[in-house]
Chain A
Amino acid sequence: MFAGLTDRSWLWLAAECYFAGLFLGTFFLLRGRRAGRGINTVIAAGYVLQVIGLYVRGRAVGGCPLGNTFEILQFTAWSAITLYFFVGVTFRLSLLGYFTSTLAAALTLVSLAIPAWDANRRDHIFGGNSWIELHAALALFSYGVFALLALTSCMFLLRNYSLKTKHPGGAFTFLPSIIDLDTISVRLLVAGVSIMTVSLAVGAAYWVRDTSTVNLTKLYITIAVWAAYVVMLALRTRGVLIAKRFSWAGVLLFAAALLSLWPVDASRHSSELNSPTRVVPR
């Protein structure tokens, strides 16, 4: 509890702010105007509320809140918003705030709307080891980077579509240029792959000491996701995967990475039938 509200209450408020960002952005787009500072204000408000919610949850569970699907989705949304503040301010990509708030609203609202995802959580998942905790946090943070990459890829596809079909007007007017979107997408890919590589390296350094702790489904899927992004980066560097194909890869890979969380989570539950789980403290 913080200021009389449970962690979920804070996270609900945050989700509502993100949804307000989506609503505001859509409203202005339909009126042919930019949302401007208004959308950044509600995103910032949502971010602060989400930080409080995650902090309360973290205090209650005694570590980084990454113990179930609900917490993972919340953390991914938080990572994407964190990155948006850096990317949005640095590159001033118009409409990125709108797209980011849409993604954050979707992730947080869906995670909150399905209570089963937050009914139980694994206890002591990091075994009290801060390095493993760092590994998990970095891995999830890289998902946030890939989420933003998926958004810039969507924006690229829309901009490319508008230019190829010769309809550059209307809402397309507010999209950033092809070059700006491509540049930021490549940088996000490099950043995401780098963070995930560090995360895997940290995890591997500890797991090799005791391979019995490794959940093989999770290991295979994580490596598959990492390898897919590495291949994407390699193909982009060689000029094979470019423009539309590159953007589709960014969108589809993130969708696949997000969907992979379910089998990973399911495998954890099945492998942990005999291990301690507990009802989430609020």
Chain B
Amino acid sequence: MSAGNLFVLGATHHTAPLAVRERLSLDAAATELLRDELSRIAGLKEFTVLSTCNRVEFYGVGESAAVASEVQRAFCARQGVAPHEFEQFRLSLAGPHALQHLLEVTAGLDSQMLGETEIFGQVKEAYGAAQARGHTGAVLNRVFQKAFQAAKHVRTNTAITEGQVSVANVAVELAVNIFGSLAQARILLLGAGEIGEKTARAFQSRGAATLSVTSRRLESAMELANSLGAFALPFWLTPVKLTDFDIVVCATAAPDTVVSLAAVQAAMRKRPARPLFFIDLALPRDVDPGVADLENVFLYNLDDLAKIADDNRAAREAEIGKCRELLNVRTQALWRQIEPRLQGGAGESAMGAQTESA
């Protein structure tokens, strides 16, 4: 058998634009149906379907290189996409290149948000689903287990996951630097816009317990508060209530300053020892820049957060070479282990029984 027996086929954010990925994306039901169809392909010994918002990939072990074409045909037929159209955006790798790709995907090197760790869980889930259905065998079991180990190794030994790279997560990380645990931090969201909501949700995902929303239109505040499981606060109360909050996320469309220096000074007089953190995401800015000079008050605007996110992204990018080197060593070692198995037809046990029964 040739090295083409281990393959990866699909489309990712590197190969296909969003509009195409939308057409190619698989929901849970479609994935299940496709799995059934793939399990009936003669010569496809093992396979795993990985479907996320940024990629649809099929990892397979086939008896011949032509099996990958069969997988492509089944996928295109299910999605209603012409094969020649799919081929324009297709990712197709075989042998050690497919192996290296899986290791890079699992380690977050291939992600749109470089170094993100969510993909690790998604790969694990995809592998778990395939394993539970008996779609994996000696080759893919080993390959995926080694990919998880390699991803953990890269995360531990490089800075690829360090520092947040989205504005919302940078804001949350800064809050953690100030308050430690966010479980006791009281958060006020000023404005009911999308960016504020996104940041509020990021805070909630990190364990922030108390969240209040205020907006010039109380109905908007109440609506967002309901969807966030938060409290709504009349806008005019903001200066008075500032004392009660630790983190203030400002994202209004107000043309002038909403939080004045005097209001913050008054609030800090009542709580001098407790820090107050302003995240000003608004343009024009909501918070008087003068508050940054006050003791125990921290102010970050959109530019500050974006700069930190950019710096972190650059730091992660600087680690790519090191990560690839580490993964390449593991790919070579793993390939040496699985190549004899592929040549010996070790993958046949996984799918053989199902193919026969089908």
Residues A163 and B272 in contact in the complex (CB < 8 Å), given A169-B311, A242-B296, A245-B295: no
B312 interfacial contact with A, CB 8 Å: yes
25 A-B pairs whose Cβ atoms sit less than 8 Å apart in the complex: A32-B159, A32-B162, A163-B178, A163-B298, A164-B298, A168-B173, A168-B174, A168-B308, A169-B163, A169-B311, A169-B312, A169-B315, A176-B180, A177-B178, A177-B180, A178-B178, A179-B178, A179-B275, A182-B273, A239-B273, A242-B273, A242-B296, A243-B275, A243-B296, A244-B295
The 8 closest A-B pairs by CB, nearest first: A177-B180, A239-B272, A243-B296, A180-B180, A178-B178, A242-B273, A243-B295, A242-B272
Of B177, B179, B273, B315, which is within 8 A of A168 by CB? B177
A135 CB–B CB distance under 8 Å: no
Residue contact B311 to A166, C-beta cutoff 8 Å? no
Q: Mark B267-287, 1 if CB is under 8 A from A, else 0.
A: 000001101000000000000
Contact-residue size bin, chain A (C-beta under 8 Å from the other chain): 20 to 34
Apart from A178-B179, A242-B296, 17 more pairs, CB < 8 Å: A32-B162, A162-B177, A163-B177, A166-B300, A166-B304, A166-B307, A166-B308, A169-B163, A169-B308, A169-B312, A173-B162, A175-B177, A177-B177, A179-B178, A239-B273, A243-B296, A245-B295
Closest-CB distance, B313 to chain A (whole angstroms): 12
Residues in chain A near residue B240, CB distance under 8 A: none
How far is A243 from B268 in the complex, measured between Cα atoms in Å? 12
Contacts of B298 in A (CB 8 A): 163-164
Would you call B176 an interface residue if the criterion is a C-beta within 8 Å of the partner chain's C-beta atoms? yes
**A32–B173 alpha-carbon span in the complex (Å):** 18
SS class, residues of chain A in contact with chain B: helix
Question: When chains A and B are docked, how far (Å) is the Cα of A97 from the Cα of B292?
Answer: 31
Residues of A within 8 A of B (CB): 32, 159, 162-164, 166, 168-169, 173, 175-180, 182, 236, 239-240, 242-245
**Residue among A173, A177, A179, A242 facing the most chain B CB atoms (10 A cut-off):** A179
- Complex Cα distance A32/B174, Å? 18
B interface, CB within 8 angstroms of A: 159, 162-163, 173-174, 176-180, 272-273, 275, 292, 295-296, 298, 300, 304, 307-308, 311-312, 315
Q: Tell me, rounded to whole Å, the shortest Cβ–Cβ distance linking B323 to chain A.
A: 15
Q: Which DSSP category, helix, strand, loop or mixed, fits chain B's interface?
A: helix
Contacts of B315 in A (CB 8 A): 169
| B-chain residues with CB within 8 Å of residue A180 when the two chains form the complex | 180
Closest to B180 in A: A177
Report B-chain residues with C-beta under 8 Å of the C-beta of A162. 177
Report how far A240 CA is from B272 CA in the complex, Å. 8
Contact residues in A for B180 (Cβ distance below 8 Å)? 176-177, 179-180
Query: Smallest Cβ distance from B122 to chain A, in angstroms?
Result: 27
Which residue of B163, B179, B272, B296 is within 8 Å of A177 (Cβ)?
A: B179
For B173, the chain A residues whose CB sits under 8 A away are: 168
Residues of B within 8 A of A164 (CB): 292, 298
Cα-based distance from A177 to B181 in the complex (angstroms): 9
Contact A177 B295 (CB under 8 A): no
Q: How far is the CB of A38 from chain B (nearest CB, A)?
A: 15
Interchain nearest-CB distance for A96 vs B (Å) = 14
B209 to chain A, nearest CB (A): 15
Cα separation A236 to B177 with both chains bound (whole Å):
22
CA distance A180 to B272 in the complex (A): 16
CA distance A176 to B177 in the complex (A): 7
Hey, which chain B residues are within 8 Å of A177, CB to CB? Answer: 176-180
Among B273, B304, B312, the one with the most A-chain Cβ atoms within 10 Å of its Cβ is: B273
**A184 vs chain B, min Cβ distance (A):** 11
Q: How far is the CA of A149 from the CA of B101 in the complex (A)?
A: 51
Complex CA gap A260/B296 in Å reads 32
Report yes or no: B296 in contact with A179, Cβ–Cβ below 8 A. no
Nearest CB in chain B to that of A163: its residue:
B298
Inter-chain CA distance A129–B178, complex, in Å, is 48
Find chain A residues with CB under 8 A from B178 CB.
Answer: 163, 177-179
Q: Identify the closest chain A residue to B295 (Cβ).
A: A243
A157 to B307, CA, bound (A): 23
Task: Give bound CA distance, A180 to B181, whole Å.
Answer: 9
- Give chain B residues whose Cβ lies under 8 Å from the Cβ of A239: 272-273
Residues of A within 8 A of B159 (CB): 32
Bound: A32/B157 CA distance, A: 10
Q: Do A159 and B295 have beta carbons less than 8 Å apart?
A: no
Contacts of B177 in A (CB 8 A): 159, 162-163, 168, 175, 177-178
Nearest-neighbour CB distance to chain B for A89, whole angstroms, equals 17
CB distance from A245 to the nearest CB of B (A): 7
Instruction: Enumerate chain B residues within 8 angstroms of A179, measured Cβ to Cβ.
Output: 178-180, 275
Please, which residues of chain B bring their CB within 8 A of the CB of A242?
272-273, 295-296
| Alpha-carbon separation in the docked complex, A178 to B315 (Å) | 25
Complex Cα spacing A2 to B308, Å = 56
Complex CA gap A169/B292 in Å reads 19
Measured CB to CB, the closest approach of chain A to B277, in angstroms, equals 9
Q: A31: nearest residue on chain B (CB-CB)?
A: B159
With A and B bound together, what is the CA distance between A182 and B179 in angstroms?
Answer: 10
Question: Which chain A residue shows the least CB distance to B173?
Answer: A168
Q: Which of A32, A163, A166 has most chain B Cβ within 10 Å?
A: A166
Contacts of A175 in B (CB 8 A): 177
Cβ-defined contact, A163 with B179, below 8 A: no
- Closest CB of chain B to A248's CB: distance in Å? 12
> A175 CA to B174 CA in the complex, in Å?
12
Interface centre among B174, B177, B180 (most CB of A within 10 A): B177
Q: Quote the shortest CB–CB distance from A254 to chain B (angstroms).
A: 21
Q: Which residues of A contact B176 (CB under 8 A)?
A: 177
Name which residue of chain A comes closest to B301, CB basis: A166
Identity of the chain A residue whose Cβ is nearest the Cβ of B303 in the assembled complex: A166
The CA of A111 and the CA of B281, in the complex, are separated in Å by 53
